[in-house]
Amino acid sequence: MAQQYRFDKEKASRRPGITPLKDAIDQMLEKYRLRNRFDQSYVVAHWDKIMGSAIGSRTQKVYIKDRVLFLQIESAPLRSELVRAKFKIIELINREMKSDLVEDVVFI
């Protein structure tokens, strides 16, 4: 019978002085002041996941500049609905990013 490997977190240990990759990347983003730009590109890349596929498929352009989210929506009824839900969009994005990345939304 074949044995299966099971990872035991309690028995696993890191050597002192070794930094996990996630922590190293976070330190690099903070050191070179790239955190804000990284978060902006994350929102653009994951727009479908954050807002859902129905809104994501009807969005032509998404970008953030100076803490303002710019959206180009091809559907007029959807645009008017999103104008009314502007604060909900801001809340969703800021909750996803765990920071105050967006202050306003502009529809172009």
User: What's the confidence (pLDDT) of residue 19?
Assistant: 84
Q: Is the pLDDT of residue 7 over 90?
A: no
At 77, list the tokens. 């009824």
Whole-model pTM over 0.85: no
pLDDT at residue 2 above 90? Answer: no
End-to-end CA distance of the chain, in Å? 63
What is the rounded CA–CA span in Å between residue 81 and residue 87? 12
77 CB burial (10 A radius; 0-12, 13-18, 19+): exposed
- Confidence tier at 14 by pLDDT (50, 70, 90): low
When mean pLDDT is compared across 18-22, 60-64, 89-93, the lowest value belongs to 18-22
**Statement: residue 55 has pLDDT above 90:** yes
The percentage of residues in the chain with a pLDDT greater than 70, rounded to a whole number, is 92
Provide the pLDDT for residue 4.
78
d(C-alpha 9, C-alpha 6), whole Å: 10
Q: How far apart are CA 12 and CA 7, in angstroms?
A: 8
Return d(Cα 70, Cα 45) in angstroms, integer: 14
Token reading at 62: 């998404």
